[in-house]
Amino acid sequence: MAEEQHNLETAIKSFSSMQIDDHTKQNIMPPPPPSHNASNEIIETHCAQCGKEVLIMPNGQRCTENDIHNYINQKTLPVMQELERLKNENRMLRDSATTFQQQCAELTQRNQQIAQLQEQLKAAEYKNYALTVHLSEFNKPSLC
């Protein structure tokens, strides 16, 4: 992915820096052999008339500015879509993490409430035991 991004950035810089003259819009060079450009990529070459770098389409035609923009869009669109998908996934994970943190905070608060109620229950059980002992002594028959 990083190599594709680097290649894409290099191609964009290369294409953006090239100037297209009127005579480079014409097809004055023969198309390259199929094996030369089997990848359907735009290739860089030099103009036979002026020696400037020019771009040739896979079909052998010289690239126009519109061809270059279309080519760049064709190459960048999948990368941009993947980037957007990853951003959405990241956003969903962040939202899930936030929800998880909120649930953890609520659980911690409930655990504290449970601990307080358990302490109150222990205190009530102790009072109940103490009263039971007191009542049992009070209800004993007296020996007098």
Question: Is-contact 29 62, C-beta < 8 A?
Answer: yes
Question: Is-contact 42 63, C-beta < 8 A?
Answer: yes
Instruction: Give me the pLDDT at residue 27, please.
Output: 43
- Most confident option among 1-10, 33-42, 93-102: 93-102
What stretches of 18-64 show up as alpha helix (H) in DSSP? none
pLDDT mean over 79-108: 96
Sequence letter at residue 86: L
Cα dihedral 15/21/22/24 (nearest 10):
-60
Residue 15: partners with Cβ closer than 8 Å, 6 or more residues away: 42, 55, 68, 71, 72
pLDDT mean over 52-78: 82
Q: How far apart are the first and last CA of the chain?
A: 99
Greatest pairwise CA separation for the chain in angstroms: 136
Higher pLDDT, 86 or 54: 86
**Averaged confidence pLDDT in the chain:** 79
What pTM was estimated for this model as a whole? Answer: 0.44
Higher pLDDT, 92 or 58: 92
d(CA 52, CA 65): 15
Instruction: Give me the pLDDT at residue 4, please.
Output: 65
Higher pLDDT, 22 or 135: 135
Instruction: Give me the pLDDT at residue 102, please.
Output: 96
Check residue 54 and report its DSSP letter.
E
d(CA 53, CA 139): 113
Residue 14 has pLDDT above 90, yes or no: no
How many Cα atoms occupy the beta-carbon half-sphere of 46 within 13 Å?
5
Q: For the chain, which residues make up each domain, given as ranges?
A: 2-105
Instruction: Give me the pLDDT at residue 37, please.
Output: 46
